[in-house]
Chain A
Amino acid sequence: MSDVLAALPYAVAAWVLLAGCYGIATSRNFIHIIVCLSLVQSSTYLLLLLVGWSGHATAPVFGDVQPGVRVVDPVVQALTLTDIVVGAAVTALLLALTIQLAKRLGTIDPDRIRSLEEDLEE
């Protein structure tokens, strides 16, 4: 039983990643794909924070606690922190590309885009 419970955190991170991949694979709308991509990125944040977590430790900020108290790992939190904000900017870039796609090709269905490209080449 405790083995199952110990596997739950990593299992949730893997589940979120696979759910996002399922959304991307079976999608008919580029905006839906972009949101699922953001979901996949968030699963990596979860995994990083889980790796750095420690049972009876507190946050690595020494405002109220004195140095010397057990704290969780700050390195993975630093990685995750910048990743979140930069990931949002890249999501904005992808959404801008989708707007251009709608203007130029008149559709945001990934299946139809493949066939429209064939039309354009003629």
Chain B
Amino acid sequence: MIADVLLGVLLLATGATATAVALTREPTRQALVLSAYGLVLGVLMVALQAPDVALAQVGVGTAIVPLLVVLTVAKVDRELEHDDEEGDR
């Protein structure tokens, strides 16, 4: 009974966080929400008796992918700013 309630709560939390990821437009903020979503999904995977998969999800989806996104945003912003400056010259 309690296990079912826990699973239900985790599923709803996953759905809510996923909606937040899709609706967050600004990429840097979206990377943070993606990290939170990865954590919630990892906990759901542990509840579904999949510790191996949860380890991979937290290690990769929560730590590495948001870091790559933030670095890409920094680089792209600098490129676009540089292009704007060259265009103004």
Chain A interface residues (CB < 8 Å from chain B): 5, 8-9, 12, 15-16, 19-20, 22-23, 27-29, 31-32, 34-36, 38-39, 42-43, 45-46, 49-50, 52-53, 57-61, 71-72, 77, 80-81, 84-85, 88, 91-92, 95, 98-99, 102-103, 106-108
Tier of interface size on chain B: 35 or more
Q: Which secondary structure dominates where chain A touches chain B?
A: helix
* Cα-based distance from A4 to B84 in the complex (angstroms): 54
Is B36 part of the binding interface, using a Cβ–Cβ cutoff of 8 Å? no
| A12 near B15: Cβ-Cβ < 8 Å | yes
| A19 near B18: Cβ-Cβ < 8 Å | yes
Task: Kindly list 11 other residue pairs between chains A and B, CB separation below 8 angstroms, not including A35-B34, A46-B44, A98-B76.
Answer: A5-B4, A19-B15, A22-B22, A28-B25, A29-B27, A31-B73, A32-B30, A35-B21, A39-B22, A39-B34, A72-B49
Q: What total count of A-B pairs have CB within 8 Å?
A: 136
| B45 near A49: Cβ-Cβ < 8 Å | yes
In the complex, what residues of A have CB within 8 A of residue B11's CB?
8-9, 12
In the complex, what residues of B have CB within 8 A of residue A57's CB?
49
Chain B interface residues (CB < 8 Å from chain A): 4, 7-8, 11-12, 14-15, 18-19, 21-23, 25, 27, 30-31, 34, 37-38, 41, 44-45, 48-53, 56-57, 60-61, 64-65, 68-69, 72-73, 75-76, 79-80, 83
